[in-house]
Structure 1
Amino acid sequence: MTRFDRLRRMAEVWTRPRAPETLPVALGRQRVYVLPTRFGLFFAVLVFAMGLGALNYNNNPALLLALLLAGTAMASLITAHLQLSGLVIDTVSAEPVPAGEFLSLRLRASARDLRLRRGLKVGYEDATAMLSLDQGSEAALSLPTERRGWLDLDRIRISTLRPLGLATAWAWVWPEQALLVYPAPETHGPPLPTDVSDSGVARLNPAGDDVHHLRSYRRGDPQRAVAWKPSARRDTLLVREYEQPRSAEVILDWQRLGPLAYEHRIRRLAHWIDQAERENRRYQLRLPGQPVLGPAQGSTHRHACLRALALLPHVDAA
């Protein structure tokens, strides 16, 4: 690493925010920093040499060209600063993924003015993405995940080399928002447990299979449900009420996984939750010290169960 790279690295460290901040965050001019690139330094030396030679030989056209190039360089510095000044980071979000998979971090931005901003670079650790407010205001970064629970975000760097690449302008954002990482499910786990509840119970359902009883017609009942022959005999409209057998509800109990290790239990339960969803089975999750979740089924219930598993204390932190 050269001395120039070390100085630029130190400048970036000094300009980072010291604490997480609540979104949305506006990047004011006091938060945007500009430094010349290597190409910018070479350009400055070239223009200085051109101007010095023009003065030495009293060459007015060469001096005019040197001044025009110097003015263009100064204008590019201001333009690079304006690319970030006034930018607003609105939200940072991501859909939870199992630990070990890449999490797609979405950063949404807007602008306080009508200036077009193109070629903005969003960087987080080793991940980078491009952001242009005239082609959609969202950038997506792929972040690796290692363990379940909350993933605390570090500082996000937004930079640009436009318009001429003579200078780099950058600003930092440190969202206080944490992202959720689900536990990794057990691979090649066993089938669902045989412990069930409410086995064989039926519930009333207009789209069921078996006729349960006849009742009086109510406004809004479908015409196909009207029992015409019984209605004619009783001289009043009667409607067939059907019943649908309810599938058995699976019980996923933490206490019944005693022989397994702590983290292995979590992975086993995560595997069973995904399997129950694939088989369209209703299930309930029982964890120590927490209220029973379910019985239910669907994306909302799945998220609640996996969230409860993800936020269980880690063994090394207990």
Structure 2
Amino acid sequence: MADGRWPALRGRLESLARPRQPETLPVTFDRRRIYILPTAFGMFLLGLLLTMGVGALNYNNNPALLLVLLLGGAAHSSLLAAHLQLSGLRIVAIDAEPVPAGKPLRLRLHAAAEPGRDRRGLEVHYGTAHAPLGLSAGHGEAELSLPTRMRGWLDLERVRISTTRPLGLARAWAYIWPSEPLLVYPAPEPDGPPLPEGRGETARARLHPAGDDVHHLRDYRRGDARRAIAWKPSARRDSLLVREYEQPQGADVVLEWRALSALPYEGRIRRLARWVDEAERDGRRYRLELPGQPTLGPGRGSAHRHACLRALALLPPLVTGHARGG
């Protein structure tokens, strides 16, 4: 029977297998966490050996019986070898860089083991995603791509580490169930108005759209003023271009939740996420003002961007019960 034909059996085993609840990493695999079942090739070999054994006994063929015993001993030893591939393996950590909802999350699993034992053919499985786990000098890493759908915390389910080495007769596997969730940023608004006006003690007057000091041309975005469209360059490019005027670098961009009251709840989050990315891309100092939370900033840089997007991702949902999820 092929491995892919055992979903019902696997489901029952998972409900009984260790761990039965989320656990804190690192975790070391011992004999109580490792499970073994024959593969399709292993089942075929078992049937073949039974047939050969019955024939050898029926015809009193000692060489054939000896061959059956030798092959059976080798198969039994392969079960022990498959068990030893996982025994003592230490799962150190699981992490991932946050991504906007809708984009794949790159999950990284870090493992360690005693360098004296050769471990090959290890694989990491999560849902339908799988990746090889290679160990070099006692350390290894596997990377999987997980889909994301919602902002906020993504709680991980069981992660399976398995192998069919050395002979492919049996599959040995063990589970880990990380207790630490992963963060998913809100998806930024695809189109929208430009950044709001900068404010602050060092802010200068922003250049008027009708001025002559053009910083660069960019593609038209929904919500841009018609007077900012560069018609002649647009005609040459056969697409709408908009004049982007130089921004005063001393002005702090203020991203206010209450200033977007015309948008729906999730629409405000997506627009603020987009503005955070734009301000960071343009090198602007910005601060984020959210209801019921202290103001973040002003500042810029990867740490400030993460703090702002994290605050947006963890805003309570409009519908109760979906605060945690990817």
TM range (shorter): 0.7 to 0.9
Aligned residues: 275
Q: Secondary structure at the match of 1:169?
A: strand
Query: 1:111 aligns to what?
Result: 113
1:87 partnered with 2:83 = no
Unaligned runs of 5+ in 2: 205-247, 322-326
Of the three residues 112, 121, 124, the one matched with 1:122 is 124
Query: 1:68 aligns to what?
Result: 70
Counterpart-to-counterpart distance in 2, 1:2 and 1:67: 25
Query: 2:57 aligns to what?
Result: 55
Query: 1:181 aligns to what?
Result: 184
Aligned residue identity for 2:55: G
TM-superposed deviation, 1:198 = 2.2
Aligned residue identity for 2:258: Q
Aligned residue identity for 1:149: G
Instruction: Give the 3 Å change call, closer, same or farther, for CA 170–283 of structure 1 in structure 2.
Output: same
Q: Secondary structure at the match of 1:137?
A: strand
Q: Secondary structure at the match of 1:63?
A: helix
Counterpart-to-counterpart distance in 2, 1:197 and 1:8: 61
**Structure with the higher strand share, 1 or 2:** 1
Query: 1:101 aligns to what?
Result: 103
1:221-236 residue pairs with structure 2 within 5 A?
none
1:145-156 residue pairs with structure 2 within 5 A?
145-156=148-159
TM-superposed deviation, 1:163 = 1.0
TM-superposed deviation, 1:113 = 5.8
Query: 1:213 aligns to what?
Result: none
Instruction: Give the 3 Å change call, closer, same or farther, for CA 64–2 of structure 1 in structure 2.
Output: closer
Query: 2:135 aligns to what?
Result: 133
Q: Secondary structure at the match of 2:173?
A: strand
Contact residue 124 and residue 131 of structure 2 kept, 8 A: yes
Instruction: Give the 3 Å change call, closer, same or farther, for CA 181–8 of structure 1 in structure 2.
Output: closer
Aligned residue identity for 2:293: Q
Instruction: Give the 3 Å change call, closer, same or farther, for CA 286–151 of structure 1 in structure 2.
Output: same
Query: 2:36 aligns to what?
Result: 34
Instruction: Give the 3 Å change call, closer, same or farther, for CA 14–284 of structure 1 in structure 2.
Output: same
TM-superposed deviation, 1:246 = 5.4
Counterpart-to-counterpart distance in 1, 2:57 and 2:256: 86
Q: Deviations over 1:143-182 (max 9, x none)?
A: 0001111111111011111111111111110000110000
Instruction: Give the 3 Å change call, closer, same or farther, for CA 8–299 of structure 1 in structure 2.
Output: closer
Counterpart-to-counterpart distance in 2, 1:280 and 1:132: 40
Q: Secondary structure at the match of 1:170?
A: strand
Query: 2:293 aligns to what?
Result: 290
Counterpart-to-counterpart distance in 2, 1:272 and 1:246: 16
Query: 1:7 aligns to what?
Result: 9
Counterpart-to-counterpart distance in 2, 1:39 and 1:113: 30
Query: 2:311 aligns to what?
Result: 308
Aligned residue identity for 1:132: G
TM-superposed deviation, 1:13 = 3.4
Query: 2:222 aligns to what?
Result: none
Q: Secondary structure at the match of 1:30?
A: coil
Instruction: Give the 3 Å change call, closer, same or farther, for CA 8–96 of structure 1 in structure 2.
Output: closer
Q: Secondary structure at the match of 1:315?
A: coil
TM-superposed deviation, 1:112 = 4.0
1:215-294 residue pairs with structure 2 within 5 A?
247-294=250-297
Contact residue 88 and residue 112 of structure 1 kept, 8 A: no
Counterpart-to-counterpart distance in 2, 1:56 and 1:157: 44
Q: Secondary structure at the match of 1:272?
A: helix
Q: Deviations over 1:181-206 (max 9, x none)?
A: 000000112100115222348xxxxx
Identity within the alignment, %: 61
Q: Deviations over 1:105-152 (max 9, x none)?
A: 000001146211111111011111111213860000100001111111
Query: 1:171 aligns to what?
Result: 174
TM-superposed deviation, 1:50 = 1.1
Contact residue 116 and residue 134 of structure 1 kept, 8 A: no
Aligned residue identity for 1:100: G
1:142 partnered with 2:145 = yes
Query: 1:214 aligns to what?
Result: none
Query: 2:223 aligns to what?
Result: none
Aligned residue identity for 2:57: L
Q: Secondary structure at the match of 2:50?
A: helix
Instruction: Give the 3 Å change call, closer, same or farther, for CA 8–38 of structure 1 in structure 2.
Output: farther
Aligned residue identity for 2:54: L
Deviates more, 1:128-137 or 1:254-263: 128-137
